[in-house]
Amino acid sequence: MQNTNLITVKDNKTAFIPYLVAGHTSNEVFSAALKLLDELGADLIEIGIPFTDPIAEGKIIESAHHHALKHDFVLDDICKIVKEFRKISDTPVIAMGYTNSFINPSSEHIATNLSESGFNGVLIVDLPVSEKSIINSFKDKQLNLVQLIAPTTQLTLIEDFLANDPALIYYITQRGITGSNNLNLEEISEKLGAIKKLSNKPVVTGFGIKTVEDVENLKTLTDGIVIGSPIVEKISIDPSLVALKEYLEPIVEAIKS
Amino acid sequence: MNKGYFGDYGGLFIPETLSHALNELEKLYTDIKDDKDFNSQLTNIYKDYVGRPSPLYFAESLTNHLKGPKIWFKREDLNHTGAHKINNTVGQALLAKMLGKKRIIAETGAGQHGVATATICAKLGLECIVYMGAKDIERQELNVFKIETLGASIVPVHSGTATLKDALNEAIRDWVTNVDSSHYIIGSVTGPHPYPTIVRDFNAISGRELKEQAINQFKALPDMIIACVGGGSNAMGVFYPFIEDETVELIGVEAGGKDSSDIGGASITDGSTGVLHGAKTKILQSKSGNILETNSISAGLDYPGVGPEHAYLADLKRAKYVKIFDDEALEAFYEISKIEGIIPALETAHALAYLKKISTLDKNKNVVVNMSGRGDKDLYSVMKNAKH
C-alpha cells in the first residue's frame, strides 16, 4: 500500500527525521540504533546505503560509509534487520543513497528487496528526474519517492520535479555537503515559502542542522527536520549509543515542542 | 537519444545542487561553440601559447625496427605543459571567464591535468585549486611542484583509494559548496553532461589536425589510430573526427595492471555498466555496485571508469579496446626512448606497447599513435622502480 505521505503533517507539528548509515558500526549497532531512534520519536527514518564514492557527503558520513563497506556490509542483512524492525514499529523507513547502489544487479531487484523487507521509500541523491525507467522500478513496488530540491534549483522547473509524484520534498538547506556549517535562514525561509506556494507536498529540510538552536530557528518553516552527520558521529564515537541518546533528547524535544 | 546520452551511456547523475550550474554550462557552450570571437580567441591561444598544430611525425627508426606498418606519432607531447590536457583546459578556462567565474577547481591523477589547469589559470588570472590523491602526490612529485610553482593550491585527498577517483569526489564536493563562484574543469571525457561533449570537442583539435596532416603527408587517411584510454580524453579527441571514416581502425588501449590476475584499470575490457561521477558508463565495480580499487603503473590510467562515449563506441564496435600490462608498457617506455629519442609518458607507453601486437600488418599501412604526453613526469617513479 503506497502512502501518499511519508510523514503526516498535522497540528503544525514538525517531523523528526534521523539519518543513519546501514551496517554502521556493525549490524548489531545499526539495529539497536534504529530501535533507539524510533523510541526517541522518529517520524521517518533515513537509512543510508553505503557507497564507495558518496559525493554529496561530508567526512563524517563518508567515513561511516567506508567503515560499513570495510566490515562487509550486505544489503540483504539490512533488509533482514528492517523486516525485524517492522514487527515492532510502523515508523516509515526510506533507503537513501547513490544510483549505483540501486541498479546493481538491477533496479527491479533492489526495489523488490526493499519493498518486501518493509522499506517505504527511496531517496537517490544523484538520480535525475528524467531517469524514468529506474524511477518506475521503485514506483512499481509501491516505494515512495523523495525529491531533493537545492538552493540553486530553478523553481520555474518545479513541474519537472513533481512529475514523478514524490511523496515528500527534501529541501537541501545549503550549497554544500552533509555536515557543513552554512545555514542561511533568510534564503531557507524564502525558498521554502516559494516551494510551498508551488506544491502541496510536505517539505522537509536537511544538511547542516546540528543544534537545538538550529532546530528552533527552522522548525516553524518546515514540515520536518533531518539530522544526519551528528547522529552518525555519535554512533561512531560511542557504539553503546549512550552519547547518541543524550545528544538527541533535547533536539527531539525542541522539534516537537 | 536522451539529452546528454551516447547510446545507453552518459546522462547527468549528480546531486541536485549542481544541476543549475550544469544547465548554464550547457547553454553557454551551445551558444558559443560556433561563435567566431570565441573560436578566434581559442585558436590564438592554441597557436601562440600551446604551440599548435602539433606535428605528425614519421617514426622511421621504430618502423624499421618493428618491420611492420609505417608508424607515425601525433605529437601532443610537444604541447606546452607536455600533454594533450591543455587542449581542454584552455577552452574551459575561457568558458569559465564567460560564465563570470573566477575560481577554478580541478582534479588530477598523473598531475598533467593539474599542471594544464594551473597554467591557463595563471595566464588568465584565475584562482586555481587542484585536488590530488595522496598516493598520486607521492608518485608525481614533479608535477605537484609544477602546479604549486604556477600559483595553484594542491589539496591532498586521503579518503578511499587516495587516487584520481577520490580526487574527483573531493572536487565535486568543493563544487557543490562553491557552485556560484566556481567552475569545475574536469580533466577527461567523463562526468555529467555536458562535460563528456565539451572535453571531447576541445580535444578534437588533435584529430582534426591529424586528418589534414595525414592527407598532406601520406596522401591518405590513417589505417589505424592507437591511443591510451584512462578516462579517455586524448583518445576521444583523436578518434572523434574519424568516427565517420569507417576504414580507419580505432584502438583504445587500457591499463591491464601487473598481469591478468590483477584488477588493472580496463573499464571497457573488464568492467560492466554502472554510474560513477555523474555518468552511466562502463566501470569496475563489485556485485553490489561499489567501485573497485584499480591498479596501474600509470597514474593517468588508474581510474575505474571511462568516458561514456567510449563505452558507446565499444558497443557499436566502431572502436576496439584492448589492454596492456605494466611490464609491456615499461618495455615500450624504454624502447621508444632509445630508438626514437622520445621519452613517452607511461600512459602513452601503453598505446606504444600495442604496436608490437600489430607488426604483422601490411608494410604500406599507416598507423598513428597519439603521443598523448611526454615522460618527464614519470622519470622519478620509473627510476625508483628500476632501483628495486
State the pLDDT confidence band at A1, using cuts at 50, 70 and 90.
very low
- Angstroms from B278 CA to nearest CA on chain A: 8
Count how many domains chain A has: 1
Cβ neighbours of residue B380 closer than 8 Å, sequence gap 6 or more: B141, B142
> Would the ipTM clear 0.90, i.e. be above it?
yes
B102 with B23, same domain?
yes
Q: What is the pLDDT of residues A103-128, one digit of tens each?
A: 999 999 999 999 999 999 999 999 99
Report CB contact under 8 Å: B275, A99. yes
Q: Which chain B positions have a beta carbon within 8 Å of A54's beta carbon?
A: 169
Q: Find the closest chain B residue to A181 by CA distance.
A: B177
Q: Mutate which of B2, B13, B175, B267 to test chain A, going by most A C-beta atoms within 10 A?
A: B13
Report CB contact under 8 Å: B274, A172. no
pLDDT over 80 (residue B2): no
Mean pLDDT of all residues belonging to chain B: 95
CATH number, residue B165 = 3.40.50.1100
B126 with B275, same domain?
no
**The predicted structure's pLDDT at residue A3:** 46
Report CB contact under 8 Å: A152, B17. yes
Report CB contact under 8 Å: B15, A180. no
**The predicted structure's pLDDT at residue B273:** 98
Contacts with B, A 67-126, CB within 8 Å: 69, 74-75, 98-105, 125-126
When pLDDT is averaged across residues B352-376 and rounded to a whole number, the result is 97
Of B14, B17, B290, the CB nearest to A52: B290
Q: Is residue A4 part of a domain?
A: no
- Per the annotation, the verdict on B85 as an active-site residue is yes
Which among B54, B70, B74, B85 is annotated as catalytic? B85
Of B12, B17, B291, the CB nearest to A175: B17
B263 with B332, same domain?
yes
Q: Is residue B187 within 8 Å of residue B113, measured between CB atoms?
A: yes
Report CB contact under 8 Å: B159, A66. yes
**Percentage above 90 pLDDT, chain A:** 86
Q: Is residue A117 part of a domain?
A: yes
- Per the annotation, the verdict on B123 as an active-site residue is no
Domain boundary among B125, B160, B195: B195
Helix intervals (H) in A74-184: 75-88, 99-102, 107-116, 132-140, 158-162
**The predicted structure's pLDDT at residue B356:** 97
Beta bridge partners of B9: B6
Rounded-to-integer distance, Cα B352 and Cα B322, Å: 12
**The predicted structure's pLDDT at residue A180:** 82
B304 with B339, same domain?
yes
B187 with B276, same domain?
no
Question: Domain residues for A238?
Answer: 15-256
Rounded-to-integer distance, Cα B136 and Cα B298, Å: 10
C-alpha cell of B26? 550547457
Q: Mutate which of A51, A55, A157, A169 to test chain B, going by most B C-beta atoms within 10 A?
A: A55
Of A55, A74, A130, the CB nearest to B169: A55
Rounded-to-integer distance, Cα A167 and Cα B339, Å: 67
Helix intervals (H) in chain A: 27-39, 59-70, 75-88, 99-102, 107-116, 132-140, 158-162, 185-198, 212-218, 229-237, 242-256
pLDDT over 90 (residue B138): no
Q: Find the closest chain A residue to B288 by CA distance.
A: A104
B41 with B158, same domain?
yes
Strand B56-58 and strand A144-149: pairing? unpaired
State the pLDDT confidence band at A4, using cuts at 50, 70 and 90.
low
Beta bridge partners of B373: B83
B62 with B159, same domain?
no
B210 with B113, same domain?
no
Length of chain A: 257
Of B18, B20, B159, the CB nearest to A154: B20
pLDDT over 50 (residue A153): yes
Q: What is the pLDDT of residues A63-72, one digit of tens each?
A: 999 999 999 8
Question: Domain residues for B282?
Answer: 52-83+204-387
- Per the annotation, the verdict on B182 as an active-site residue is no
Helix intervals (H) in chain B: 19-32, 36-44, 60-66, 85-98, 112-124, 134-139, 141-149, 164-177, 195-218, 233-239, 267-270, 308-315, 326-340, 346-353, 379-387
B179 with B326, same domain?
no
B295 with B367, same domain?
yes
Q: Is residue A241 part of a domain?
A: yes
Rounded-to-integer distance, Cα A16 and Cα A254, Å: 10
Of A53, A125, A130, the CB nearest to B165: A53
Q: Does B182 touch chain A (CB under 8 A)?
A: no
C-alpha cell of A43? 517520524
Q: Is residue B319 within 8 Å of residue B229, measured between CB atoms?
A: no
- Angstroms from B289 CA to nearest CA on chain A: 5
Q: Mutate which of A53, A147, A183 to test chain B, going by most B C-beta atoms within 10 A?
A: A53
Q: What is the pLDDT of residues A155-177, one digit of tens each?
A: 888 888 899 999 999 999 988 88
Rounded-to-integer distance, Cα B111 and Cα A87, Å: 54
CATH number, residue A123 = 3.20.20.70
Which among B206, B298, B372, B381 is annotated as catalytic? B372
Task: Find, among B117, B39, B132, the residue nearest to B83 by Cα.
Answer: B117
Q: Which chain B positions have a beta carbon within 8 Å of A175's beta carbon?
A: 17, 176-180
Count how many domains chain B has: 2
**The predicted structure's pLDDT at residue B385:** 77
Domain boundary among B147, B172, B195: B195
Q: What is the pLDDT of residues A72-106, one digit of tens each?
A: 899 999 999 999 999 999 999 999 999 999 999 99
Per-residue burial over B248-274, b if 16 or more Cβ lie within 10 Å, else e, is: bbbbbbbbbbeeeeebbbbbbbbbebb
Q: Is residue B119 within 8 Å of residue B150, measured between CB atoms?
A: yes
Report CB contact under 8 Å: A128, B11. yes
State the pLDDT confidence band at A9, using cuts at 50, 70 and 90.
low
Domain boundary among B152, B168, B195: B195
Report CB contact under 8 Å: A52, B160. yes
Task: Find, among A48, A23, A82, A91, the residue nearest to A227 by Cα.
Answer: A48
pLDDT over 80 (residue B387): no
- Angstroms from A249 CA to nearest CA on chain B: 30
Report CB contact under 8 Å: A105, B291. no
Q: Is residue A250 part of a domain?
A: yes
Q: Does B181 touch chain A (CB under 8 A)?
A: no
**The predicted structure's pLDDT at residue A10:** 66
Which among B26, B76, B107, B328 is annotated as catalytic? B107
Report CB contact under 8 Å: B180, A152. yes
Q: Does A132 touch chain B (CB under 8 A)?
A: no
Q: Does A47 touch chain B (CB under 8 A)?
A: no
B218 with B322, same domain?
yes
Task: Find, among A194, A75, A140, the residue nearest to B290 by Cα.
Answer: A75
